[in-house]
Amino acid sequence: MNTEMLPIILWVLIIIVSWFIIRKILKSLSDRINNSELYNADMLNVLEEIRDELKELNKKNSDR
């Protein structure tokens, strides 16, 4: 009976291992996408701050 169940057990193990590998790959891709979005948001904030500072400097120079 054990030899009859062995192929079924092996297929179940292969499916479980495949599931964990695919899940890990998808989680890694998701993390990369999220990190990229956070980086873009941070970069946008920095550029907005630089723009505001340049506007202030331009106002100060034009007032002189």
**Residue-wise pLDDT tens for the chain (64 aa)?**
678 899 999 999 999 999 999 999 999 999 998 888 888 889 999 999 999 999 999 998 887 6
Q: Which residues contact 59 (CB under 8 A, 6 or more apart)?
A: none
CA angle 33–38–40, rounded 5-degree value: 95
- For residue 64, the model assigns a pLDDT of 67
Q: Global pTM?
A: 0.59
